[in-house]
Structure 1
Amino acid sequence: MSSTAGGERPEGDEGVESRDASESPAPDAADFGRQLAAAAEKSGLGALARDEKLSGRDLLVAVGGVRGILEALLPGLVFLVVYSSLTSFGDVDAQSALVPALVASVGLAVVFTIARVVVKGQPTQAIAGLVGVLASAALALWSGDARDNYVLGFITNAAYALALLISLFVRWPAIGLIVGFLMGDGVAWKQDRRKYRAAQFLTLVWIGLFVARLAVQVPFYLVNNVEALGAMRLLMGVPLYALVLVFSWLVVRAVYPSSARSAE
């Protein structure tokens, strides 16, 4: 692996332009990377990235912990169960079933938020989840269509995919910025051909995650299959996120070997 400490510039790397070695890194990109890494550190991703062995505990923390997983999954699950039960077995039309399903979902999100505040935990995640649930519920109530409860999720996934794609086009892959600062590498990874290509690859992988969610879920929205849409939203949420996170950890550990292996 080439090293920036020796001042050497890898040759034949079409992905890294020759002027990168002589120019200082763009301050905006570096600052943005620090902000992304700081947010990732608070979420537990920092410990996971630096852990030389994949710890189940660190992985659990990185995906939000038990409470965070429940906060992410249960409101959507309750909405789906109540709505499906009323429309399938309760002799209630879809529009009449919408309100009780939304009330149950929003009510549970409120309970989670209050619980965070009462136990003096970090309420930020619960509040963010509550805002998302409220906004989605408001949109569904406004349109009177249960499937619109999932529209904001489409917008969020599209926005993430677009932002990551732009980072590739400007040659500052966002995953590289996050990993670089989490691993204490700053922006030096951009001068290392192997790390730069790994950053490009992982950024593409995460783009694939967000695009896959849209590719699977949007067709169910278009055919008005709320039950299948809700089920796919749950399956492609935390579980798929955790799988991509583990894969990313494997790639990061491959290009950032342990100190013992580096010394050897």
Structure 2
Amino acid sequence: MSRDATPEVTPTERTSDETVEELIRHRLSTALGGWRGSVETALPTIAFIGVWSWRQDLKLAVWCAVGVAVVLAIARLVQRSSLQHVLGAVFATALAAFFAMRSGKAEDAFLPGMLLSGGYLVGTVVSILVRWPVVGFLVGAGDPRAAEDPFGWRRDSGMVRVCSRLTWVLVALYAVRLSIQVPLYLAAQVEALGVAKIVLGWPLWIGGVAVMGWLLVRGNTPQELEAVRDTAARASDAD
């Protein structure tokens, strides 16, 4: 076989997803969680705001939120199901409780979340600038070969471009969260902060995923099929 010849790609060598956008849609659906995780994340906040609005008792509100998170974790253990989302809720609730109890201000329960959003905002922007977009890691997590080649997605320049566009959606989400929550925090609007935290949590994330889906449906970026090219190169060298 000549080194300049273009080998024919057999059906078994082709990917089932014809474009980068189709592949990303499939990978993201594998990597994202379901509705139960969103409920487990929101319930401790709902308990905190409910008790605070009823009694204006910071300690009672904090302990009720922590209690709800612990009950959710116990339920997961009894059912022998994944603790991934509920452990995140337990940790976030404990951290929020620490901040609120330390200062004695109920609004400080929301400070860790705002600081985290600020960190994510900076991190997502930097990831785009250095061409390691955050969404690419989610796409890589959905790859069945992730354990062997976790950064394989970066070899496809089209994949990097599309993941960068999708990561800008995340940047917008974090910017929206901070633009609403920071003024409420500075004004010590605890009840409004609680509502904002819930609405700007999974509901906003679902809206962001919908925007990503719209971008993916509109796009038509061809894959570079690195694996096929590597196979072809090895075959040419062998000849």
Do both proteins adopt the same fold according to a TM-score greater than 0.5, normalized to the shorter chain?
Answer: yes
SS class of match (1:121) = coil
Per-residue deviation at 1:162? 1.2
Structure 1 match to 2:153: 186
SS class of match (2:87) = helix
2-structure distance, mates of 1:179, 1:248: 13
Alignment of 1:238 with 2:207, yes or no, is: no
2-structure distance, mates of 1:73, 1:198: 31
Structure 2 match to 1:26: none
Report if aligned partners of 1:177, 1:187 keep a CA contact under 8 Å in 2: no
Report if aligned partners of 1:75, 1:108 keep a CA contact under 8 Å in 2: yes
1-structure distance, mates of 2:191, 2:100: 15
Name the CA shift for 1:250/1:258 in 2 (closer, same or farther; >3 Å). farther
Point out where structure 1 has 5 or more consecutive residues left out of the alignment. Answer: 1-5, 7-46, 52-57, 88-96, 260-264
| Equivalent residue in structure 2 for 1:83, among 52, 61, 75 | 52
| Equivalent residue in structure 2 for 1:122, among 82, 87, 90 | 82
2-structure distance, mates of 1:48, 1:108: 36
Report if aligned partners of 1:49, 1:182 keep a CA contact under 8 Å in 2: no
The two structures have a TM-score, normalised by structure 1, of: 0.66
Per-residue deviation at 1:84? 1.0
Larger-Rg structure:
2
2-structure distance, mates of 1:115, 1:210: 31
Structure 2 match to 1:150: 110
* 4+ residue segments displaced more than 6 Å: none
Report if aligned partners of 1:180, 1:189 keep a CA contact under 8 Å in 2: no
Point out where structure 2 has 5 or more consecutive residues left out of the alignment. Answer: 1-5, 7-22, 146-151, 224-239
Report if aligned partners of 2:131, 2:160 keep a CA contact under 8 Å in 1: no
Name the CA shift for 1:98/1:48 in 2 (closer, same or farther; >3 Å). farther
SS class of match (2:156) = helix
Alignment of 1:167 with 2:143, yes or no, is: no
CA distances 1:71-94 after superposition (whole Å, capped 9, x unpaired): 11111011111101224xxxxxxx
Once the two structures are aligned, what percentage of the paired residues are identical? Answer: 29
2-structure distance, mates of 1:197, 1:257: 9
Per-residue deviation at 1:105? 0.7
CA distances 1:7-36 after superposition (whole Å, capped 9, x unpaired): xxxxxxxxxxxxxxxxxxxxxxxxxxxxxx
Letter in 2 for 1:235: V
1-structure distance, mates of 2:204, 2:103: 30
Structure 1 match to 2:39: 70
Name the CA shift for 1:180/1:123 in 2 (closer, same or farther; >3 Å). closer
Letter in 2 for 1:187: R
1-structure distance, mates of 2:95, 2:25: 33
Letter in 1 for 2:168: L
Per-residue deviation at 1:258? 11
CA RMSD of aligned residues (A): 3.0
2-structure distance, mates of 1:242, 1:136: 24
Report if aligned partners of 2:118, 2:178 keep a CA contact under 8 Å in 1: yes
Name the CA shift for 1:202/1:116 in 2 (closer, same or farther; >3 Å). same
Structure 1 match to 2:211: 247
Structure 1 match to 2:13: none
| Equivalent residue in structure 2 for 1:99, among 54, 59, 73 | 59
Name the CA shift for 1:111/1:222 in 2 (closer, same or farther; >3 Å). same
Name the CA shift for 1:177/1:113 in 2 (closer, same or farther; >3 Å). closer
Q: How many residues align?
A: 196
